[in-house]
Amino acid sequence: MVSARSGVAGRELEFVYFGGGTPSYLSSRQLRFLRDSVAESFSWETAKEVTFECEPGTLNLEKVQTLSEIGITRVSLGVENFHDGILEENGRAHLSPEIFRAYDWIQQVGFPQVNIDLIAGMVGETEENWAACVEKAIEMQPDNITIYQMELPFNTVYSQQIKDEGVASPVADWPTKRRWVSEAMDRLQSVGYHVSSGNEMVSNPETDRFVYRDNLFRGSDILALGVSSFGHFQGVHYQNLDAIEEYQAAVDAGGLPINRALRPSKTQRLIREFVLQLKEGVVDIPALDKKFDVRVNDQFSEALGNQQKAGYLEVDDETVRLTRKGLLQADSLLPEYFEPEYRRVRYT
């Protein structure tokens, strides 16, 4: 249905991303069916990047081989931590032996790019274990290492206990998590990795490109096909229905399973691209000036001035560049650029 729409028909895919949730739960047979059935509408054979998120405990050698066969070019392995006790305490579906086994299969099959995810500040994390996790990641030598800082959504058991029973948060505080990420960045840089964003390190910035992120952060169209997934098409943001039953009912009735949509103003589109690129650590000011016919430094002069004075970033006529202090808490800086009515809105 989507491929037949006039704004989509005949266009080639630049990138494909299977992620959010755990697509690696699919069997090899299901993966081949997915490729073959989608190929009737879209082909990703000419795409610059096809990313597939993997949970270590869901993989086997046959499945990893199938991922290569169906054209996956970038595998992202959700390692999170290497300590079995911490993985269990945080409800992860895998343990360390499965991490190493899965990574061996990925290396054996071979992919143009391999990323692993780590999370700083998981429940039970210690100084010593975090340092050991970083060393193990270095030993694995992936092309990219993504490091997230642990967050507790408001609807978790932990959050309810903190709110209702007054118990202390089991997650490390923000200064500790930021320090752990900063120490990881320093260690990774010492062995040749480069900072690509506030939470991404790459081994070779000339060849290691995250095409999905680079395009999405610059206003590219992205077609949302999954349940609950977000899309951006010709200036309109939209999200699909978040219940599988409602999603299927909408499609069976011949309609697109879209739940909600927003057509942002020109100013909102500028804000969106500015804050997303800020998350990468560097904003190309002349490019945004030309694209939106504005002077970005004037548009955001108050926020830029405040954050430069606080040591989060540096500004000139060509770039806005986050300092290490800014990189480590980039997300907390973004609302100051939002329109006033949206600055205190929770996203969870």
pLDDT in tens, 260-298: 999 999 999 999 999 999 999 999 999 999 999 999 999
pLDDT in tens, 90-103: 888 899 999 999 99
pLDDT in tens, 152-182: 766 666 666 666 666 667 788 999 999 999 9
Residue 348 has pLDDT above 60, yes or no: no
CB of 104 closer than 8 Å to CB of 142:
no
Position 167 scores a pLDDT of 63
Residue 232 has phi, psi (to 5 degrees) of -145, 115
Residue closest to 61 by CA, chosen among 108, 19, 96: 108
Residue tagged 């007054």 (tokens): 166
Position 171 scores a pLDDT of 80
pLDDT band (50, 70, 90) for residue 132: very high
Flag whether the pTM goes above 0.85: yes
The H or E element spanning position 180 is helix 174-190
CB of 156 closer than 8 Å to CB of 207:
no
- Going by C-beta distance under 8 Å and a sequence separation of 6 or more, which residues neighbour residue 40? none
- Burial of 167-205, coded b for 16+ CB within 10 Å and e otherwise, reads eeebbbeeebbbbbbeebbebbeeeebebbbbbbbbbee
Segment 176-193 mean pLDDT: 97
CATH architecture of 270-342: Orthogonal Bundle (1.10)
Average model confidence (pLDDT) across the chain:
93
DSSP code of residue 168: P
Dist CA 253 CA 246 (whole Å): 11
Distance of alpha carbon 40 from its chain centroid, rounded? 28
Position 23 scores a pLDDT of 93
Position 206 scores a pLDDT of 87
Task: Say which range, 23-27, 140-144, 191-195, 209-213, has the weakest mean pLDDT.
Answer: 209-213
Segment 242-266 mean pLDDT: 96
Segment 2-8 mean pLDDT: 94
Position 310 scores a pLDDT of 98
pLDDT band (50, 70, 90) for residue 208: confident
| Residue range 15-213 in CATH 3.40.50.300 | no
Return the domain boundaries, the chain. Answer: 15-213, 224-262, 270-342
